[in-house]
Chains A and B, each alone.
Chain A
């Protein structure tokens, strides 16, 4: 422990200037002593013998001359078994533990360890005495719910180490020494099952980064089929308030085909976190059959918690994601919302009196956003296994206008864009992802040509719709009107999905492929329709049949029956498959 101290010389909001004498490093953690509490803070600027620090708590009561203790460490996350199922604040304090200590409120200066020091874990050694080890190699495992949690040689160790001794199979706490390693100069280093890692640095203990090519299923048709996300990829969901960003994230966190989900509730409503906390323990993870909470970590810094730790919460969550990726697991990080994080940066930048960029956001906004999303990726680890981090961030643009800096900076670095629109959400078309503006660079679960076919129907339909606004229904041909009805039907039965219905919300890949083939068959056919009213009535009936079909369990009896209904209606109206659709369906097989 360094005995480095300083004293407060000025206070402006949560920015405090400290005069110091020894050495202080950038992003070092320090504590401001006020009355009987110590307030955690981070150094964010150093000038001469003045360090400017952001305090992670309310600063009321601090006065000039108050003592500041520097720790010599950067803001770190504690990594080890016991992270899953936890609810942390932005600084990795477990909220239930804080509630036990302080009651109703989050009293300032009240901190707790991220991992319980008492819980015992069943450790199984893997490495043998005499083995040569490097950072990121693992020496043993413990079971953590459904996962095999690897105990690593801490990532911060440089060079080669030899294993001198290792504990026998048995129960240990995260504080017990389980191994001793010797470095190249012969010094012994004891290891426990946990270690700290500075959250603002990416963990890079892998052999190589691979291209994200495998689709991450979200079970949302509009995403998986049309605007897919890849494991190890990045995507963003900008949208005005009330467009359903959070519901979309919530659905994804339930059904996404990944091992671990980390939810970073950054500057959003506390009520939403409470909803997750109430609901998740009761739901089952279809992959493991265990409680959904056991694959989830919640990092929650709600909007009324101090702003500086809102910034930290984003880094804490991505660090935990990287840690589990190192075990060869697929992790999904959902950040809601990155705009609040950007606003936290803006508040700090304003206090530091930096020259503002667009809308007063700091000039480094883009590079910060880019480096955050760059921590996603699909990697091959040193033992040959593969792991990934997928990052999905919501953006809350002011006034719902996507031209603003945070949305634009995000769009430059992500691989998929799911833009939510007010028009769709007002029309109760959920998910409100606007197919006309969204895009994705990843490969989806259905054939790319079929995706293109869908998109063509949607674009053509929207052209006709805007034409109809000007010249009315009577001004367009029957053929165009049918094309318009087809695009409306595609929207209603495939793009829209009921996230509150357990069957419809959980539409797997096989089902999406199956339904797509049927749908292309129906949309790619001509019918005996002699008037617009006739056409409208027919497509309304067809739509209803598809919607009913969506609510039946895949391959169940009801499913087969509902499908037969569709076929019957198709035959009745003399459906004849067109050449283009026929080719497409043949190609896909």
Chain B
């Protein structure tokens, strides 16, 4: 028996309070407003005063609207039927398909026992050389894509979704522009990946509270698939919008802000989501790639800063390319010794030479004289940027390594590369 209350005491921002008893913390309620039904979640109880955040926002909510408590927390339906479907932050379908109500699972569940995890040791191929070759993505890794607004991060994410070697893709969109949403849908169906994808989409025009639910929904579904022995890749875009939604709700509820208005628990909130990345002993895995836009290209902004402390490296997207210097995959050591013998040596050698190219470029721009060695470096740098760094390049790891050797041989002699001679002897292109 669920009691119905029809006296809302206060409405502030997206939060309402009602007088009610026997209500549980985090319980869901349904509100019937003149614009339709909306879910709301209890986020504070003080005696018989219950505060709820309303998913659809409070515009038009009247003090006389009906509030019905549902007796359970936020849940998401889980089954194979999810594949190919699109939902909003309340878990309702937005693809005109039927609603799913079977096998409801709670979201935001407890964290995995560390003794049940295994050391990440499998490479996740994406066929993007700047990832596979230089900063290998590893199964169960959590990595953000740091980017400024305007960079093609959603295009990158869509490509990874289409090309990555994963059994299931879960896409969580937060504050997505509607055309970006359409872009994802088109790209995935064109690439034939839609049938292994579940999407949870919050567009920029949807209510803020729903934005906060997206990562939890996406990760809860991913975790369930992983327990069925699937390798799941979760793509989230954009986590800065998620953090901003947290900030909005925190300030409405009069929490003391800590840094630039963000709540003091921003780190814990982000970590609770990212830490869902896991490689289960004897079962599947969850890998998380999340776009974090950096306001003003400032990596010390609280969102990228806190994210950097949580994640295992970052991809730094700048000028339409994954920058080799700012980017780092902390787990690449675990896998790149087992791919191909020349992988590590070539990776280090090419990056070292690219760094030298950058210095030469600076020298050239300052108008200093250019030596023959500098000319070689300039040629190398251009080839490297065009043939490997460009985001449209689509090559398997082995092809990229071969191409790497080819570029080197076009610019330098074996000795000039500084790569160990037993490796160059074996892999240096003949003729």
Contact = CB atoms under 8 A, between A and B. Distances in A.
B312 interface: yes
Contacts of B116: 99, 103-104
Given A241-B308, A347-B265, A64 B114 contact: no
B114 A273 contact: yes
Size bracket, chain B contacts:
35 or more
B328 interface: yes
Contacts of B256: 350, 353, 356, 360
B73 A302 contact: no
A9 B47 contact: yes
B175 interface: no
| B119, B265, B276, B310 pick with most chain A CB within 10 angstroms | B265
Interface residues of A, number: 58
Interface string A435-469: 00000000000000000000000000000000000
Contact of A303 (B117, B257, B275, B302): B275
A502 interface: no
Nearest to B20: A64
B300 interface: yes
B45 A360 contact: no
A400 interface: yes
Nearest to A307: B268
Contacts of A274: 114, 117-119
Given A303-B271, A343-B264, A401-B300, A270 B111 contact: yes
A396 B267 CA distance: 11
B126 to A, nearest CB: 20
B339 interface: no
A400 B23 CA distance: 43
Nearest to B314: A242
Interface of A is mostly: mixed
Contacts of A303: 267-268, 271-272, 274-275, 310
Interface in A372-403: 396, 398-401
Given A275-B119, A356-B256, A401-B300, A102 B25 contact: no
B112 interface: yes
A280 to B, nearest CB: 12
A58 B272 CA distance: 12
Contact of B114 (A65, A302, A307, A360): A302
Interface string A71-104: 0000000000000000100000001101100111
A63 B25 contact: yes
B227 interface: yes
A399 B300 contact: yes
A304 B117 CA distance: 14
B325 interface: yes
Given A106-B112, A304-B271, A60 B312 contact: no
B271 A10 contact: no
| B47, B313, B325 pick with most chain A CB within 10 angstroms | B47
A269 B275 contact: yes
B111 A360 contact: no
B309 A396 contact: yes
Contact of B110 (A61, A64, A108): A108
Contacts of A519: none
Nearest to A101: B113
Nearest to B51: A12
Interface in A198-246: 240-242
A503 interface: no
9 contacts: A10-B47, A60-B24, A65-B21, A96-B115, A270-B112, A270-B278, A271-B117, A398-B300, A398-B302
Given A63-B22, A64-B23, A241-B308, 15 more contacts: A10-B45, A11-B45, A59-B26, A61-B27, A62-B24, A65-B21, A87-B115, A95-B114, A242-B330, A274-B114, A303-B310, A343-B265, A347-B268, A353-B256, A356-B256
9 closest A-B pairs by beta carbon, nearest first, are A399-B300, A303-B271, A304-B275, A60-B26, A241-B308, A360-B258, A304-B111, A10-B46, A11-B45
